[in-house]
A = this chain, B = another copy of it.
Amino acid sequence: MQLGSIEAGGTKFVCAIGNEDYRVQDKVRIPTTTPEETLQRTIAYFKQFPDVKAIAISSFGPIELRHNSPKYGYITDTPKQGWANTDFVGRLKRDLPVPMYWTTDVNGSAYGEYIMSTLFNEQIKSLVYFTIGTGVGAGAIVDGHFIGSLGHPEMGHVRLKRHPDDLNFPGICPFHGDCLEGLVSGPTFEARVGKPGKDVPLTDHVWDIMAYYVAQAALQETLMLRPDKIVFGGGVVSEGFLVKVRAEFAKLLNGYVSVGKLTDYIVMPAVKDNGSATMGDFALALNEYKK
């Protein structure tokens, strides 16, 4: 059986063909230009594979995912030039008459990590996936289902207790200033220390400040959802950084609830090379086909 994955990002689309074992059989990158051109090239790609039974799409957003909305399947009020109010699923369905599953980029990644855990026979019922890169987002799965009924989570914009050594940094979120994204997204390195994060060694105190905030995000998810695992992906995250995050998390939690071994609880993605969303999409496409 062939299944399709579309990881729709703000700079590129990754389209892939896989099987029901979630193995990638073919893959292409399409630069994100105008909606017309990008979706047209996406359609042309999948037209080469007439045996594809279903396609799952993990998209940048915000998106409309309420089935009872007339805008279901749309990218809604995104700041990305030209993409606001784009009928993504509707456009694809015109030319690709297969079942489609529509969700957020982080939900796709969360599902990939969830499926990967179950393949390793972990007793996982719930999982949170964070991406910390240009922006900050999170997807959450509870009992195999995505969280969010009025819409998808926007965990990037929660408020946090400020680090005592960071009180003068106003944050860079245009909507909220010092929300999570405004304090820890990749571009905060330029704003705080005048150079990109990849040039800032982990011994720099700015990483401790980052870890304090990211640990609070993990704490919020822990105390509100009590998930089995929290996965951190995205360009800002490394195993060395997560060592700091776990240490801050332990201090903040202060033993209040049990989360098991921290090295199993706060982790990097198990699927390598940013492949979580593609794997998640194959699994979601398979679910959609079986419906």
Chain B min CB distance to A139 (Å): 11
A231-275 CB mask vs B (1 if < 8 Å, else 0) is 000000000000000000000101111111000000000000000
Q: Which of B143, B175, B226 interacts with A151 by CB under 8 Å?
A: B226
Report if A224-B221 is in contact (Cβ < 8 Å); known contacts: A147-B142, A254-B176: yes
B153 touches A219 (CB 8 A): no
Closest to A212 in B: B159
Q: Which of B148, B255, B256 interacts with A225 by CB under 8 Å?
A: B148
**For the complex, is A51 an interface residue (Cβ under 8 Å from B)?**
no
Contacts of A138 in B (CB 8 A): 224
Number of copies: 2
Chain B min CB distance to A110 (Å): 13
Chain B min CB distance to A97 (Å): 30
Closest to A259 in B: B150
Task: Give the bracket for the number of chain A residues in contact with chain B.
Answer: 35 or more
B228 touches A150 (CB 8 A): yes
A123-159 CB mask vs B (1 if < 8 Å, else 0) is 0011000000000001010110101111111111111
Apart from A147-B226, A221-B224: 11 A-B pairs, beta carbons within 8 A: A140-B224, A149-B226, A150-B259, A156-B223, A158-B219, A159-B216, A159-B219, A162-B162, A175-B256, A176-B252, A220-B224
Can you name 9 A-B pairs with beta carbons within 8 Å?
A: A138-B224, A142-B147, A149-B227, A150-B259, A153-B226, A156-B223, A159-B219, A160-B160, A176-B254
